[in-house]
Structure 1
Amino acid sequence: MTTADTLNLTREDPTGEGPATILDALEAAARAPEGFNFHSGRGELIEALGYAALVEQSRALAAKLIGAGVKLGDHVALIADTEGDFVRLFFACAYAGVVPAPMPLPMAFGGREGYVAHVRRMIEASDASAAFAPAMMRDWLKEAAEGLPLRLVGTIADLAEVQPSTAPLPTPDPDALAYLQFSSGSTRFPKGVSVTHRSLMANAAAISRHGLQTRPGDRCVSWLPFYHDMGLVGFMLSPIVAGLTGDYLATRDFARRPLLWLQMIARAKATISYSPSFGYELAAQRAATVDLGDLDVSCWRCAGIGGDMIRPHVLRAFADRFRPHGFDLDRYVASYGMAEATLALSFAPLGPGLRTETVDLDRLESDGVADAAKPGASRTREFVLCGPALPGHELAARGPDGSALPARRVGKIFARGPSLMRDYFREPEATAETLSPDGWLDTGDLGYFTHGELVITGRAKDLILVNGRNVWPQDLEWAVEAGVPGVRSGDVAVFSVDRDEGEEVVALIQCRTREPAARAALQDQAAKLLRLQFGTPVVVRLVGAHALPVTSSGKLSRSRARELYLSLPAEAA
């Protein structure tokens, strides 16, 4: 069965574009042998879950959910581990006519107490009537849900003794919610993004047909978490729509053994896999210290890159390390998107691979214009081209007055199209701030267009004003990582703090030594480098290893780093 066949087997939507809901897509995919394969931290197959079995098991679980008292339209919180039970529960919710709300594992929350409090707030924010977790998280979930008005709190095993409902399962409306996706929370507490079946199917079909141009024989490998939009939509739901098999490694296992990702690609002869920049960086760093033997990843035709600011030098280093093993720069597929757009908004064209342009940083900071840098220019910045908008979608760069900007002028990026969220769940004010009445989404990102392709320059809220210039914090962060010995990728957070005397620029740097002279030298080197390269004094403070806060998806949270800085005693080093 071909991908094209799979996309058009069941109940069509009114536009004739394909299956109307994710359940229609799943039942279409179930007519072929594809499915999900879950692997251990050693790369061993734990479970093969075919789409046909997933349909049968999810429908049975849906009847039990209804039998346990979950009502049509309820929301159900699901702690999203990379395992078959999460997928079964997700689709059981869909078949029962209830809305799954995937929630994170405790990887980025600093201990049990912080995680329990965070998940409790998410359960409350999602208005969940039931909550499920993997067996290893049962007690933590029970603690998080204590005192909340939930009908069910436990694991999938707790449904075993429930008497299933004998009523027919409901048929979802394409305009009903498919799931509630919590944003990663880089600037504030995560908001629930309401995604309908129609938006999901529009985005998944566009990703498959136009972004990745899936074909018979394609296969996916992913370590991305199912609670993040790139993992959930990109590598759990989109493969179903495309009728592809996926092989999965838990994020925690990737972090421990990043080369297992490449070994799984080689073993499965996978063609599609995605990662933020840090995933490629971690794998290349680990590969620098080991013999890769006869590893062959020449099968990998779409090496997607997204989820954070794209770092070209990281991707070049990865390609250099794995070129002898069948990889090269032409495999990269840069893309741009966000949970509020279901997932993707733009894709770079397949074939050319990584494409960048280098601009004059002084002109960019002072005038907001992305002029090409002249040969020998001292201050430059390299950006990655993320391609045009997906078919049926629009992207625009706008100035402060809301007017559209010409090519190469940096402005706030707005998006419109069939993939956009319905709203932020039960947050009308935040929704009104983000979605205009005529359907334009304020992405919160800054960027510009060149030859119809999108280039992202940073987050609008992170921008720092220095002596009348707009400075991107990642430029300062990357300068320290590249220019100060001993500072690693991800060790630096730069942000500004409003003081009575003006804007104070701060750099928090993770430091792994307690030796006073070494610490003083690190602070001094970083402050001098930043003053020299950016012409501004920067307050440099040292924090412990792993002290910088990150979101549930692994991104640096500058807003929480700012809170950390403001909480430090004045004499702390």
Structure 2
Amino acid sequence: MNQFPKTLVEALDNNQDASKTITYISSKDNERQVSYPALKKRALGLLHHIQQKGASEGNELIIHLAENEQFIDAFWACQYGGIVAVPLAIGTSDGHREKVFNVFEKLNTPYIATTRKALQRLKVFAEEHGKESIYKVIEQKALMLDKIETFDTLGALADINSEQTAFIQFSSGSTGDPKGVVLTHKNLVTNLYGIIECSAFDYRDSFFSWMPLTHDLGIIGFHLTPLFVNINQYIMPTDLFVRRPALWLEKASEKKATILSSPNFGYKHVLKRFKPENQVNLDLSHVRLLFNGAEPISADLCREFSAVMKPFGLAETAMFTVYGLAEACLVVSFPELAQPLSTLHVLRSSLVEGQPAQVVSEASDQSIELVRLGTPIIGTQMIIADSSGQAVADNVIGRVLIKGENVTKGYYHAPELNEKLINDEGWLDTGDQGLLNEGQLVITGRTKDLIIVNGQNYYAPDLESVCEHVDGIELGKVVVCGIRNVEDALDELVVFVLYRGELENFYQTTIEVRRQLNEKSGLDVAHVLPIKKVPKTTSGKVQRFALAEQFEAGAFNEIIAALTELSETQSTEFIAAGSSIERILLDICHSVVADQKISLKDNIFEMGTSSLKLAQIHEKIDEEYPEVVELTDFFDYPTIEQLAGFIAHKTTP
């Protein structure tokens, strides 16, 4: 790494070619280009305002911004000022706002970069949840970027060294005690070097991403990586991708981007909405790598996506299945370049830690297909180990341990957790289980209480604490699992509740649990099921895997059928709409949430509406009433009746 930058700041300082740019795409016909030299100047201008607010080197700045350009400006202002960046998603639920308060209280000397609208929503949340005193401090430390009119005066540069903390990546889980992965400049530079070398990125490449910048794949993989290579990058908002997934491919075609990425659920989302007959001009022949990571990878989905896109020029070897995590900055392992999708079939019954996996030559009802994820990239070490930390033989299932200059030295203000997960030799337990097969990593499951939904991490105990706010659910009597839906190629949220009464009386609990998790965390719950006993180990730890195995074996099928029948008989009766706007809104909601009957007074957030479905509802409303309703207006007008009144007022001449 003789010629490679030692800090993030050095990398941007080296980029003096004004022809290399970031293109911020806000819609099909609206985009803005910012060169790397212009980014530096704007960041220094924003740094002046941050320093005027009182922040100085070593302080933390929560970046609570929805706009990609504002986010990146704030991120680089932090780097040049030696201020620790703390990215947090704006989100659409109370859980996201609660996380801001939790993180703010955890930090040493926090400030917050936000906007007037986002700050107002924090204020409303504080008033509704008794957090007014904390909010007053947040308000005093808040810099609202939409109030800044000029960036002419430049801030004071800090003398940055490689051991300084560049930013803290807090866990996606929005409740409870967020866990912050501390990443230094050396961590990041080490991982970026490995990524660039092992992917053979050069001047011929360009990156296109819709991933949120609060996610490590967004900020490190698809912003810092192309910046370090000094090549063009294109960024579109995540909510635009959700509303118009085909636009991601259309714009990638238009820009001739060579490097794309998505978690598993994103590829599924594209395929659901993709209409080949409407894409006669789509050209994906220039796409060299299509990264697939951030959640369990479905081999079937990889094959389906590649097959659907093959007529548009996508190479069969473009799909690049990788493994990584925030604790490694981003990447742990890559397959060989141009390697075809590589998988193996393993008997489900043999997926036991410490035992050799039974590999079979053909798929069957008793087997599962797992994807090979390559070997460790430059700068990263990895072993599969037993519970004592000793490496195991090939094909034996163990814990995935990692070590290297790219691996975090620990979690923020969490000495007990650090001692538990990082041993004396510096090996970090990722919490994932896996094996080595033909020299390549294969992930078989997770040992830690982590659930991945739509590429985001949620800690099961956090989600369980949300459920415990439901009347009748006692502490320790609820278990949340992420269970693989093979047909849809994604992890579903299944909630098990200790309950010994009649099933008819349990139905209301299912509604309340769905409502709590949707409002607090924005998550869609697949099933809420009663259990007679919570399975635990002799030491008292909940055995989530035992319930997941019972579910996958069909033990709850009869209960699911009975609850489905109850939902059909007890659903709120349809109420005829009184106005044309109300009728249109009802039709839209029914088209997206097809399995429920919806009334005018039903709360949109109580319909089990995931953030993805909410965005689809918004898209359809926007087609009927262009630019009248913002996604955030759902919070102010949460029922169809109220939203119809709002639209009527806005559209009345």
TM range (shorter): 0.7 to 0.9
AA partner of residue 19 (structure 2) = P
Kindly indicate whether residue 195 of structure 2 is the aligned counterpart of residue 207 of structure 1: yes
* 1:369 positional shift: 2.4
Residue 379 of structure 1: aligned partner: 366
Distance 1:49 1:142, change over 3 A: farther
CA distance in 1, matches of 2:210, 2:200: 21
* 1:535 positional shift: 6.8
Q: 1:62 aligns with which of 23, 32, 47?
A: 47
Q: 2:262 aligns with which of 262, 271, 275?
A: 275
CA deviation vs aligned residue, 1:390-423 (integer Å, no higher than 9, x gap): 1221111112232211110111110001111132
Residue 14 of structure 2: aligned partner: 28
1:433-472 correspondence runs (5 A): 433-461=420-448
1:53-452 correspondence runs (5 A): 53-107=38-92, 109=93, 113-134=94-115, 136-141=117-122, 146-148=135-137, 151-160=140-149, 168-185=156-173, 189-210=177-198, 212-288=199-275, 291-364=278-351, 368-375=355-362, 377-452=364-439
CA distance in 1, matches of 2:292, 2:248: 15
CA distance in 2, matches of 1:75, 1:463: 27
Kindly indicate whether residue 496 of structure 2 is the aligned counterpart of residue 477 of structure 1: no
* 1:233 positional shift: 0.7
The structure that is helix-richer by fraction is 2
CA distance in 2, matches of 1:318, 1:25: 35
CA distance in 2, matches of 1:49, 1:122: 31
Residue 514 of structure 1: aligned partner: none
Residue 3 of structure 1: aligned partner: none
CA deviation vs aligned residue, 1:346-402 (integer Å, no higher than 9, x gap): 111110132111122233359742222144644111111110011221111112232
AA partner of residue 15 (structure 2) = A
Distance 1:353 1:139, change over 3 A: farther
Contact 1:408 1:448 in 2 (8 A): yes
Matched residue of 1:175: which SS?
coil
Matched residue of 2:136: which SS?
coil
| Structure 1 unmatched ranges of 5 or more | 1-14, 465-471, 483-487, 501-507, 512-521, 524-528, 555-573
CA distance in 1, matches of 2:61, 2:106: 12
AA partner of residue 357 (structure 1) = L
Contact 2:348 2:367 in 1 (8 A): yes
CA distance in 2, matches of 1:366, 1:68: 52
* 1:128 positional shift: 4.7
CA deviation vs aligned residue, 1:95-126 (integer Å, no higher than 9, x gap): 1121111100214x3xxx44322221122223
The alignment-based identity, stated in percent, is: 27
AA partner of residue 492 (structure 2) = V
CA deviation vs aligned residue, 1:406-447 (integer Å, no higher than 9, x gap): 110111110001111132111111122222232111100011
1:514-525 correspondence runs (5 A): none
Residue 493 of structure 2: aligned partner: 493
Distance 1:82 1:65, change over 3 A: closer
Task: Between 59-68 and 314-323, report the one with greater CA deviation.
Answer: 59-68
Task: Between 296-305 and 400-409, report the one with greater CA deviation.
Answer: 400-409
Distance 1:78 1:377, change over 3 A: closer
Matched residue of 1:148: which SS?
helix
Distance 1:135 1:346, change over 3 A: farther
Matched residue of 2:203: which SS?
coil
Residue 608 of structure 2: aligned partner: 547
| Structure 2 unmatched ranges of 5 or more | 127-133, 452-479, 501-509, 515-527, 530-547, 568-594, 597-606, 616-653
* 1:129 positional shift: 2.7
Alpha-carbon RMSD across the aligned residues, in angstroms, is: 3.5
Residue 517 of structure 1: aligned partner: none
AA partner of residue 185 (structure 1) = G
* 1:547 positional shift: 3.5
CA distance in 2, matches of 1:497, 1:245: 50
Distance 1:61 1:463, change over 3 A: closer
Contact 2:318 2:338 in 1 (8 A): yes
Contact 1:186 1:550 in 2 (8 A): no
CA distance in 2, matches of 1:53, 1:236: 15
Task: Between 83-92 and 542-551, report the one with greater CA deviation.
Answer: 542-551
* 1:152 positional shift: 3.0
Matched residue of 2:34: which SS?
strand
Matched residue of 1:131: which SS?
strand
CA distance in 1, matches of 2:417, 2:118: 32
* 1:327 positional shift: 1.4
